[in-house]
Amino acid sequence: MGAQEQSGRALDLLRRQCHACAAPVWHQEMGYRTQRSPRPIPSDQKIMRHLCVAIAFSQGARSAQISVLIETPVFSAAFADFDPVALARRKPEDILKNYWPRLGHFRFKSKIHQIVQCACVLNRLIRERGSFAKYLQSFQIPQRIRAAKHLDQFWAQFDALQQDLQRLEMPFFRSTTSLLQLLLDLDFDSVKPDLIIMRLARRLGIVERETGDRALRQCVRFLQEYSIKNSCRATALDLAMLAFGGQTGASRLLAQKFCPVADPCDNTACLLLANGLCLSPNKLRRG
């Protein structure tokens, strides 16, 4: 069995075990991620909220705490009800002074500066292109990837979008991980290659290392290729890997825990380990 075939087999078993151990809320979340008809790109105000939420969850913030925080009135109030015009006029120092004691789960104060700068860039795009939706649609990134040609188009246009966001000095979302996450949030067939996904991808032999832009792209493309072959959505694989890999928010979707944070793993209840499809036990020996 080749390395790619073995990794594909591991994903088969991972999905099977997730379904076998699914908590009631699993099916609701998975249903949201597997719908076939693409959702329209949201309004600029909702886009601003997406940007705020993504930054809030980033850089090791505890997802369970952030999940609660983003639903509170203080989150909306701190960021001008996500009105990009009003938010761009706010000074990060004032937001920190008035709201930081209640936004502490963000972990880093620099995120406030990033959010305000995102509002400034978003306003520029609205002035120049009419809306963020029109701007994004101009890159012709396919929302659904059902064939190899769609996959090639996705990555070619992703590169063009990323380069343009770098030109605009868009903070945070010009990075590969965060831009892939934004597309995932907007219902594109994307995966966010965060620490949990990359750790699990390394254990399944999808990538050899967990960091670096090349490894991030290799991981996401492999999952997209798998989704084409198996008639599933990459967004669903993202959720399954987060839940299986132990991400704080997603792990509640399963009635059982599987992946430990550190190698080696000795979870005998895991089908991947039982079938020799997890490299975690060999991590120390492989150096």
Q: Are 269 and 37 in contact (CB under 8 A)?
A: no
Is-contact 86 80, C-beta < 8 A?
yes
Q: Is the pLDDT of residue 89 over 80?
A: yes
Residue 37 is predicted with a pLDDT of 87
Which pLDDT belongs to residue 34? 86
Contact 227, 8 (CB under 8 A): no
For residues 11-38, average pLDDT: 90
Transcribe the chain into DSSP letters. --HHHHHHHHHHHHHHHHHHTB-HHHHHHHHHHS-SSPPPPPPHHHHHHHHHHHHHH-TT--HHHHHHHTTSHHHHHHTGGG-HHHHHHS-HHHHHHHHGGGSGGG--THHHHHHHHHHHHHHHHHHHHSSHHHHHHTT---SS--SHHHHHHHHHHHHHHHHHHHHTT-TTTTSHHHHHHHHHHTT-S-----HHHHHHHHHTTS-S-S-SHHHHHHHHHHHHHHHHHTT--HHHHHHHHHHHHT-TTGGGGBSS----SSSPP--TT-HHHHTT---GGGHHHH-
Q: Are 3 and 205 in contact (CB under 8 A)?
A: yes
Pick the residue with more confidence: 32 or 229? 229
Please tell me whether residue 213 adopts helix, strand or coil conformation: helix
pLDDT of residue 247: 84
pLDDT averaged over every residue in the chain: 92
- 238 pLDDT exceeds 90? yes
**Among 109, 82, 76, 104, residue whose Cα is nearest residue 93:** 109
Instruction: Check whether 204 has a pLDDT greater than 90.
Output: yes
Give the rounded percent of residues in the chain with a pLDDT score beyond 70: 98
When mean pLDDT is compared across 21-25, 85-89, 259-263, 275-279, the lowest value belongs to 259-263
pLDDT of residue 18: 92
For residue range 128-180, list pLDDT tens digits in order.
Answer: 999 999 999 999 999 999 999 999 999 999 999 999 999 999 999 999 999 99
Residue holding tokens 């990134």? 141
DSSP 234-263: HHHHHHHHHHHHT-TTGGGGBSS----SSS
What's the confidence (pLDDT) of residue 264?
A: 86
- Give the pLDDT confidence score for residue 249 in this predicted structure: 76
Question: Is the pLDDT assigned to residue 1 strictly greater than 80?
Answer: no
Token pair belonging to 45 = 């105000």
Please answer whether residues 78 and 97 qualify as being in contact, where contact means their C-beta atoms are separated by less than 8 angstroms: no
63 or 243, greater pLDDT: 243
Would you say residue 285 has pLDDT above 80? no
64 or 102: which carries more pLDDT confidence? 102
Least confident of 177-181, 222-226, 264-268: 264-268
pLDDT above 80 (res 16):
yes
| Whole-number Å distance between alpha carbons of 10 and 272 | 6
For residue 260, what pLDDT is reported?
A: 84
Task: List, in order, residues 6 or more apart from 153 with CB less than 8 Å away.
Answer: 140, 141, 142
> Token pair for residue 174?
């010009």
Predicted pLDDT of residue 48:
97
R_g over Cα of the chain? 19
User: Which has more confidence, 1 or 245?
Assistant: 245
2 pLDDT band, cuts 50/70/90, is confident
251-255 mean pLDDT: 86
Q: What percent of the chain has pLDDT over 90?
A: 74
* C-alpha–C-alpha distance, residues 45 and 237, integer Å: 29
